[in-house]
Amino acid sequence: MTTMISEVYDALKAAGAPDEDAHKAATALAAQQSRIEGIEARLRMFRWGLIALGIAVVVLEVLPYMGFYAI
């Protein structure tokens, strides 16, 4: 499935780019945008994983002072 950003296509056409080149550029930009969104989603997952890891470390460090022992 080929997607294209119509605003980019329209802007390139208004600037005088040939039809085929404007279509290729708008399609390539849409593919890059999709790829970047996937990377951002993975970074959000990693960030929440690091937050959870940090909380776990803090909890395991504080529990012995409260009278609970992990091991």
Structural tokens at position 17: 């780019």
Q: Looking at residue 65, what is its pLDDT?
A: 85
Q: Read off the pLDDT band of 71 (50, 70, 90).
A: low
Instruction: Tell me the residue ranges of DSSP E strands in 1-71.
Output: none
Cα–Cα distance between 39 and 17 in angstroms, integer? 31
How many C-beta atoms surround the C-beta of residue 30 within 10 A? 17
Rounded CA-CA distance 55/22 in Å is 49
pLDDT (tens digit, 9 = 90+) per residue, 14-67?
A: 999 999 999 999 999 999 999 999 999 999 999 999 999 999 999 888 888 888
Distance of alpha carbon 16 from the chain centroid: 33
Residues in Cβ contact with 27 at an 8 Å cutoff, skipping those fewer than 6 apart? 2, 3, 4
pTM recorded for the entire structure: 0.65
